[in-house]
Structures are given as C-alpha cells and as structure tokens.
Structure 1
C-alpha cells in the first residue's frame, strides 16, 4: 500500500514520501529513491548531538570529499598556540549543518514556515558543504595556490566528484543551486543570509567550537537563546528586541576571538613560516634543485602552479607534514631549516609596532634596510625568508563598507514592528561599527642575525614607540 505523505514541486520534479522512502518522480519515472527518514546521530562537543534525518545528507557526509576535511585542521596553525586546537574542518561542517537544522526547526515551530521542502534541503546541503573547498592549513595555502577556497568549493560541488553525483540525484541543477547559495549568487537572499552574513550558521558554529576546543572563553555565547530570538520579518532573519543583549554577546565573541585566537601573534608566526616554506620550495623547484627530494604529484602541481581539481583533492595536512619531514633532511639550508622550525615549533620572534612608528614611512624603510644589512652578513638570501611584516586587521561589525560593491547583510532588530539596524539600537555595537582594528608586527629569526648590530638595535628600540 502506497502512503503519500507529501508532494512538492520544484519545476517538473515531484518529491514524494512513500513507505518511509524519499522518492523523486521526473516525467512520470522514478529516478532516485532514498530512505527519507533515518535516525543517525553524531556525538559532538558543542551541540551534544548532531541529528542526521535524511539519507542524502548521510551520503554527502560519507563522500570522500567531505571525509577529506577530517585531515584539515579547522584553525590551521593555531594548534601551535593553543595545544587543544586540533579539531578539523569536518567537525565544523557537521556543526554548521546542525545549527542550520535547528534554526529551520525553531523558525518552523514558531510559525515561520517560509521554506519548501526542497529549499530546506538546499539550506542543509549548503551548510554542510560550505567549507568543502578548504585546503591544508586553510588560509595559509591560499597564498600559494593564488585561488580562494570559495572557488575550489564551487569546482568540487559542480565538478566530477562524489558530492556532485549525490546532489545530481536530486536534480541536475541542484549542485549549481547549492554552489550559488555558498557564493551568494542565489536569488533567494534569505537563504543566502543563513549561510553568509554577519549572523549566520557558519559563524555561530565556528565561534563556539573554536572557543570550546581551544580552551578559551572568548567566543562563548548563549546559542539556545540566540536561536529563540531569531524571527522572519519581511523576508529576512531579524532579532527580536528582547534578544538585543544576546546578539551583542555574539558580535563581541567574534571580536574577542579574532584578536585572542585567529590573529594571535604565535599563530601568525607559524603561518608566515608556512608561506616561506612554499616560497623557498617553489624557487628550488623552478631552479631544478628539488628533483632529488620527496615530491608527490599533487605537491609538484602546487609548486608548478597548474593544480587541477584532482590534485587539489589529494592535498591534505598529512601529505604536507610528511613533505616537511622529508624536506627537513634536504641539502638546502634554508628549506631544511624552515621545515624544522615548523615541525618543532621554533617560530619567528616578533615585535609589535607602535603608532608613532607605523605613521612614519621613513621608519619602515629604515627598518627593512637594517634587517637586510644584518642578514646579509650571514647569507644574501636570509632576508627574503627570515623576515616579514604582518598586518592583521578586522572589522568586528559593519552594515556597509564603501569598498564593497553592494551592501552587507546588516543585523536588524525588530522593534515595535519596525526594523532598526543593530548599531543604532546598541551603544556597545555602535562603538565597534565600521572601525577597522589593525596591528602591525615585524617577524624575524633572531638566531640568523646579530641582534647587537648597532643599526638593528637602534631600530628595534624605536619600533614599539
């Protein structure tokens, strides 16, 4: 006996539930059948349980492209600063999916049924897959590939991959819809805002997860309460007036996490060494000096600059760390030393630059000249690989950036049935709005130069003023 629980239309596609199976008819023919209701649970340190209730989601989780994220750390090199920060992009992807699932359920239970079944599936798939394009050591590797992870995400979702085949089982255009949501090109801006905005499921999960697992309290906020005060008004997710303090807590959590964790000077030192490793390896490869070193095909493609999707999906932190172990034994004194530094946490020292120093262009020139001369006494090439200026910056909250072509998704508060932009309602957030927080730091290998050099000592004494 066939029991039809639901029938929905997305173009010429019909979704049915028949005897607990999620069945899709197209032109009268069944072309895909999955159990619609399953009961799979993942234990999670942030959300306690992550509930997977649809076979399609479970198939995506089990795909090799998602499983690859187990071998990519969520916080890149932060484990060298916070020893517990060993969690993976896989953990965060599942957590983002769970926040989306709970948000949709909360909105629906509160009477805000704004999504059709196929739109819910789009939201859940986009949440799960939003970080699938990240490479090993995350943002540091983008400096080498010269290609953002968002671009790799689209290629993975729309390319010849397991993920693409699973999504095409729903509809031929389903991969494009998911990729469009993640890249903010999907026409339904409400759905886009759930994935990418200043109050989205991605940020909600990573702030809590990174804070809890790193062992720092800076990113904590009341998730249960935050979800309960979110409502739909005129086609956008907004905050109830009584939830003002909850969203303040969320924005401040992001501010603290960026400066205490993500931009931590030790983490940035490790990232700089990573970039210097690839800078040196690329130079040696181009000059033919890496041919006797361990060099997997995907890493060779990375150094050549012709990385294919297949090569990119082979890259993970296990492979790169093994490369570093092998390169630490090579004959090049710079590459071997940089690899040993990264593997054994012999990081660069740093000095934070004071405001007076930063505002004086002549001092920057004097600084670089002093280091260049000091390094030259040891080795002509040392300056290029043992010196860096780092300028981390962040805008904690903003509703508009003049440098961007279009307005950002503001966080709006529902007050007396009218919308008020968050910074106009909160004095706390107003103080942070549009303010770019910047630090200037100088990194160097103190064992490769003579710190008693008169010129260098003079500039180092002035740098913090």
Structure 2
C-alpha cells in the first residue's frame, strides 16, 4: 500500500478552497478514522462563536484545508522544481506522502476547547498528537504503519520539527505555512471579517524549494507581505477580542470550580462528570482523552445548571447563555489598583477567585531568525535575481515596522454588574467606588472594536 492511488479522485466541497482533492488511499483512510472524525466535534475557534456567530467551523474542516494547501504546494514543486540529482535542493516527490499525512494530522491531538482545557488539566495537544500517530492502539497508527513500519514515526517527526527534510517541515510549520494560511482564510470567512484575506494563489505561485527549506521569489514579495499584515490584523481584531477572552475566563473558572469540588469531595454523585474523572485525578490515558469533545463538556455544563453549588451553577449559566465578564485594560503602572478592585468585587458578593481574572494576549506577527532564542523560528527568505537570499523584513518597510514587536494587551475581568446600579442601597458605595476607577480613566474599559458583539 506504500503509495496506492484511489481508482478515482475523491473530492470534498469546501467554502475556502472550493474542492479538496484526495488521490491517495491512505489519506482517505485516515480521514475515516474515529480519531480524525472526532475533530468534527471540536470548534476551530473555541468560544469565538460567542462573538462572531458564524465561527462554528471545526478542526476537521481546518485540517482538510491544511492538507489541500500542502497538496497544492507539492504539485507546484513537482511541476516547476523537481529534483534532478540527489542533494540539489529541489523537490523530491517521494516526500509527498509524509508531507500530506503530517498536514492532515497536525491538529489531531486537540482536545475540547483546546487551550482552556490544556491550561486546567495540564495536557499538551502536540504531545498527544504524537501519541495518536505512534501508539499501536489507534486506527491512525494502523493505517500509517501499512505504508511502512516506520512511517508513523516519520509523520510524527514532521510535526515535532525533527524530520530531516526542512522543506517538508516548513510546509507544515514556519512563519508562512499551510496551517497558518488555511486558518487565516477560514477564520476570516467564518467570522465574516476581511482582515485575514490575502492572495493565496499568488503566495503559492511564488513559493519554491531550496536546500535550506522554502523561499519566495522576489516578484512575489508583496503577496507575502500582505499575508503578514493580514495575520497581524486577525490577531488584533478577532483572536484577541476582549469579549471572546471574557468567555474564556468564564470557561476556565467553570472547569476550575468543578475540579475543586471533585478534589474536595463535594461533588454530588448524580452530577459527577464521569469522563472528566481521569483528568481530575491526573490518571488519564489516550482513550480517555479521545472520548472528549466540545459536546461532552457542554452536556456536563447543562447538567450543572441544576447543581446546588451556587458558583458552579452560575458559571455554567453564564457560559451557556453568553454572559461574559467585562474588562478593563491596565498597564504596569495601574496594576497596583487590581487588588483593591478585587476587594470591592468581593464586598459586592462575588467570589474574586471565580469572578475576576487577569488576562494577557500577545502575538509576535513576524520575527527575524535568532538561533540563540529558546525556540528559534524559520525566517521568510526572498530569492533575489542573483539567487541570493534576503530576509523579508530587510526588504519590506511594512514588515520591518512590526518585526520583533509583540502586540496585544493585558486586561482585568470582572462581573458586568459592577458597572450597573446595585439592587441594595447597602452596596451603593462599593459600586460607586469601583466605577470611579473605571470612569475616571485610570483603567481603560474594553473597546468593542468594529463589531456590535460586545454585550
């Protein structure tokens, strides 16, 4: 079965790429595994659909998109830059299948509400991805091993960046790769925004292999530049939206409260989330992990709407019914105000452990290669007419302006009620004092940006 082709090409309709083309039997078999089908039940953008209602797309659709972009890159390389001799730095099409499998499976280890779940339970989706690929108990492993015995390990090595061919690794993970290109276009489409749009066809057209990985023709530099700017805008306007982060805070505290009640032996038997017990007890195995998806967690949240514990019940209702916490931005100079704001929230009747939070979101839209850094990134190389390579930010003033500069903010989250009128005169001074800090400009109330979904 090493590289068996389907009798007839299989296609999947896709709103971003029109058609996703599957020609290899192993790819179709991987798509049909239980482990990959689970990704249908995990949203790509987690809680972002509470802000951008169209963002209901799944990690399944994104993974197919990453596969399709990688397939197009392989086709381009094979048509225009096929290897003529070993070590010539051009494309060896024998690498196609490992690249396609790695692209398809790169996100298979994500759990429900991925990053929030990881934070609470200490899981690592990349490590779990490698386990799914290399554990004989999974259907994915069995299919990969039919290609050749060491093929599962090869695919896993692409994902953990140890595969010897840098062209294959950079297709899947670099500063401009199939993963990022698909999620920008797909997330822009599903959120109804235009920030993430760029000319994918042009970017792929000017992409070419060389001995050190992947580079771009000089006449396509502006298409690559546009991609960097689009990525920058999507992070600021969509991924870091303050209301979405407020819903993440609610979800985080909801899971933390459930974990506390279980560890403190306060969970009533009828409400215990059985599938989460291995995670509460830090004894989970791969099959425990693969049983979870967004729907499993949401089902537990629905049952907790009737739970006697006031905090768990209230947080579940806030999450399910979209009642995000409000937020204010703060700087290092104003961080000293936060302990007092927490005291006021406490005095108003909200447990600050579960109803306040500090949240920071920062992104590095582009960074030059620094081999001394803890996690050095591949830089974007532009091929000049004389065949030399120039790093992108040295040629583009726009990219240079954002290169190496982390963008984002830090926010303090609190109950929206703190900005309203108290129902009891006893609390009036507390609310007035809290609002004084917000309204006098000491802290900056969240900006709803350009949409109306700020609650």
Give the CA deviation at 1:60: 0.1
Per-residue CA deviation, residues 159-181 of structure 1 (Å, 9 max, x unaligned), is: 12000000011112111111111
Give the CA deviation at 1:459: 2.8
Task: Give 1:163-174 correspondences, 5 Å limit.
Answer: 163-174=140-151
Instruction: Give the structure-1-normalised TM-score.
Output: 0.88
Q: Structure 1 regions of 5+ residues with no counterpart?
A: 1-22, 25-32
1:153 corresponds to 2:129: yes
> Judging changes above 3 Å, is the alpha-carbon distance between structure 1 residues 433 and 131 closer, same or farther for their aligned structure 2 residues?
same
Give the CA deviation at 1:121: 0.5
Partner of 1:364: 335
1:104 corresponds to 2:80: no
In structure 1, C-alpha distance between the alignment counterparts of 2:298 and 2:375, rounded to whole Å: 40
Of 285, 289, 299, the residue aligned with 2:262 is 285
Q: Is the 8 A contact 1:293 1:327 kept in 2?
A: no
In structure 1, C-alpha distance between the alignment counterparts of 2:141 and 2:234, rounded to whole Å: 34
Task: Give 1:395-434 correspondences, 5 Å limit.
Answer: 395-400=364-369, 404-405=373-374, 407-416=376-385, 417-434=387-404
Give the CA deviation at 1:344: 0.3
Partner of 2:437: 459
Partner of 2:189: 212
Give the CA deviation at 1:81: 0.5
Give the CA deviation at 1:333: 0.4
In structure 2, C-alpha distance between the alignment counterparts of 1:367 and 1:63, rounded to whole Å: 49
Q: Structure 2 regions of 5+ residues with no counterpart?
A: 84-89, 446-455
Partner of 1:441: 411
In structure 2, C-alpha distance between the alignment counterparts of 1:94 and 1:265, rounded to whole Å: 29
How many pairs were matched up?
A: 427
Give the CA deviation at 1:187: 1.9
Give the CA deviation at 1:377: 4.6
Give the CA deviation at 1:456: 2.3
> Judging changes above 3 Å, is the alpha-carbon distance between structure 1 residues 326 and 235 closer, same or farther for their aligned structure 2 residues?
same
Task: Give 1:209-358 correspondences, 5 Å limit.
Answer: 209-353=186-330, 358=331
Per-residue CA deviation, residues 402-451 of structure 1 (Å, 9 max, x unaligned), is: 87335310001011211000000000000000001131111111337857
1:134 corresponds to 2:110: yes
Give the CA deviation at 1:116: 4.0
Per-residue CA deviation, residues 303-328 of structure 1 (Å, 9 max, x unaligned), is: 22222111100000111000000011
Q: Is the 8 A contact 1:367 1:459 kept in 2?
A: no
In structure 2, C-alpha distance between the alignment counterparts of 1:373 and 1:247, rounded to whole Å: 49
Of 53, 56, 62, the residue aligned with 1:92 is 62
In structure 2, C-alpha distance between the alignment counterparts of 1:172 and 1:37, rounded to whole Å: 25
Q: Is the 8 A contact 2:39 2:60 kept in 1?
A: yes
1:196 corresponds to 2:173: yes
